[in-house]
Structure 1
Amino acid sequence: MGSILYPWLDEAWQRLNAYLVAQRLPQALLIHGADGIGKTHLAETFAQRLLCKNPEAFACGDCAGCRLFLAGTHPDFLRIEPVERGKPIAVDAIRHLIANLALKPQYGGYRIVVFCAAHQLNINAANALLKTLEEPGENTVMLLLTDSPSALPATIFSRCQRLSIPLPDNAIATRWLEAQRTGKATDVLLAVARCAPLKALALADSDAVEQRRTAFSECVDVVFRRQEPVSLAERWSTLAHEDLVGWMVSWTIDLIRLRSLPDCPHLDNSDLREGLQALAGRLHLKSLFGFFDLLLRAKRALNGQANRQLLLEELLIHWAQLGRSPQTEWDYHEC
Structure 2
Amino acid sequence: MDSEEYVIRADEVRRVYQGGFEAVRGVSFAVRRGELFALLGTNGAGKTSTVELLEGLAEPAGGRVRVLGHDPFGERSRVRPRTGVMLQEGGFPSGLTTAETVRMWAGCTSGPRPVDEALEMVGLADRAGVRIKQLSGGERRRLDLALALLGRPEVLFLDEPTTGLDAEGRRDTWELVRRLRAEGTTVLLTTHYLEEAEELADRLAVLHEGRIAASGTVAEVVAEQPSQMSFQLPEGYHPGDLPPLAPLGVTRHEVEGRLLRLHTRELQRTATAVLGWAEQAGVELRGLNVRAASLEEAFLRIAREAGEGSGGGPDERNTGKRGGKIPGGLRGLGGLRGRKARAPRASVQQQSGPPQVRAPRADGAKEHSA
Same fold (TM over 0.5): no
Q: TM-score, normalised by structure 2?
A: 0.34
Kindly indicate which of the two structures has a greater share of residues assigned to strand.
2
Larger Rg: 2
- Work out which structure has the larger RCO, using CA pairs closer than 8 Å and 6 or more positions apart in sequence: 2
